[in-house]
Amino acid sequence: MPPSGENPPIVKRSRLHLGRMRKLSPEREALLAGKLPGLRVALGESESLDPATLCEPPARDVWLEIGFGAGEHLLHQAREHPECLHIGCEPYPAGVARLLACMGDAGNIRIHDGDAFDFLSMLRPSSISRCYMMFPDPWPKKRHGKRRMTRMEVVGQLARILKKNAELRIATDSGTFAGWMLANMRRCKPFVWDADRSRDWREPREPYPPTRYELKARRCGRAVMHLNFRRSGDNGS
């Protein structure tokens, strides 16, 4: 973590570890070819993208979801909050195709189908009003530490791009992941854990349709934790 007042360096490097991906149906392949290009936020030469300008007129608030899976939560938020621009990061083509198949004519969604860390690195400081991570892969093995979204370089980028008083909302069924995230967020002074009682982390801040992963976790008897953080101070804090 850089000293207080310094922004982390903007870097572009892929850390995707996708493993084996199932073959898509011709219909889903056609969706990716026909619909995704008009919604894709690609990495460009600029290292200071203002995400509000990805729609016309520019959005007053931009919400980001890192790892949207099949897109259930992202689509719900886009429909509930049409005044916001919603950007989702998801590297798996199957998840992107599923979102495209379900989103209809929703015009307030944009998609980055590559490495989320690279996308964070290119965003302008203080440009995101809210960020979600819904059940990110905990990568529990020690050798996988560089893949975790809990690592300090990710936390530093989140502190850089989130506006003052912006929220970071994380849902997980992994106690290990939750512990790592709490420890690293406490090391990053701009973030405050927004919880006064147990209900604040046992229940979501706002109701939403559970994702397929969340339903599976609950069927297996795993408790779901909702960690809510607020970005205090300005971007130079």
Active-site residues, by number, are: 137
Neighbouring CB atoms inside 10 A of 61's CB total 15
In which region does residue 69 sit, left (phi positive, over 0), alpha (psi from -120 to 50) or beta (all else)? left
Helix axes 152-161, 175-187, angle to 10 degrees: 60
Strands 109-112 and 85-89: parallel
Instruction: For residue 189, give both structure tokens.
Output: 């002074």
CA separation, residue 37 to residues 23, 32, 48, 112, 113 (Å)? 20, 8, 21, 10, 10
